[in-house]
Amino acid sequence: MSTQRAMQPPENQPLGFWTVRAGEAIGARTRGALRDIGLSQPEWWLLHQVSLDPEGVDRDATIEKIGHNSTPEAIVEAIDSAIAKGWVQQTDSQLKSTSLGSELFERAAALQQDLQAERMQEISKDDFATTIRVLQRTIDNVGGEAWHW
């Protein structure tokens, strides 16, 4: 944390405050790094999904699968943008990466690995997994729903 002001002990602090601040910080860092290589975050999500199946992915299923990361409309915009930029081609309802899209995906995937390593500094894999499970349990406890592929 960048400030050295005194704070309450962690067990007395609000979970919601810290989850929001973590999400904001991670999102801003990720969006900025992706922007530096010419990608929006929804375009990255799309390229990632398309990379999973060289035969192509169904457009509607892809929108459904990753639309909850932002909005379905943001994914439609990312698809249209990726097609216009020559990263993805669409035949009927199938989306398939182009060689340009595959190259950009590889570059962005390496960047994402670097960002994850940055986030994981001084955090063990066990602590990370515990944090995810605690957040998932918290969501369940308050009647919320969340899912990540």
Beta-carbon contacts of residue 64 (< 8 Å; ≥ 6 apart):
72
Q: What are φ and ψ of residue 53, in 5° steps? A: -140, 105
Summarised one tens digit per residue, pLDDT across range 53-107 is 999 999 999 999 999 999 999 999 999 999 999 999 999 999 999 999 999 999 9
pTM given for the model:
0.87
Phi, psi values for residue 98, rounded to 5° = -95, 175
* Domain residue spans of the chain: 37-140
Please say whether the beta carbons of 87 and 37 come within 8 A: no
Quick: pLDDT tens for 94-145.
999 999 999 999 999 999 999 999 999 999 999 999 999 999 999 999 999 9
Q: 37-140, what's its fold?
A: Arc Repressor Mutant, subunit A (1.10.10)
